[in-house]
Amino acid sequence: MAKVNPGEFVRQVRTETAKVSWPSRKEVIQTTILVLIMTSILAVFFLGVDQILGRAVKLLLSIGA
């Protein structure tokens, strides 16, 4: 792979960055809200699963003792 000097590298980065299709502000806000909602739902779900499994393990351990 050929080495490039720092100036050429910066020019290449700027050229490639210009090709990127950047999302609009509205799209970013909508996506952020969706991510926050989904992570909250998953957090509550896994909390419930953890509680159920924890109680099942305690029950099994109390039976064996």
- 32-59 pLDDT per residue, tens: 999 999 999 999 999 999 999 999 999 9
Task: Taking the CA atoms of 27, 28, 30 and 34 in sequence, report the sign of the dihedral they define.
Answer: positive
pTM of full prediction above 0.75: no
CB 35 within 8 A of CB 43: no
Q: What pLDDT sits at residue 65?
A: 65
Q: What pLDDT sits at residue 43?
A: 98
Cα of 45 vs its chain's centroid, Å = 17
> CA-to-CA distance for 45 and 38, rounded, in angstroms?
10
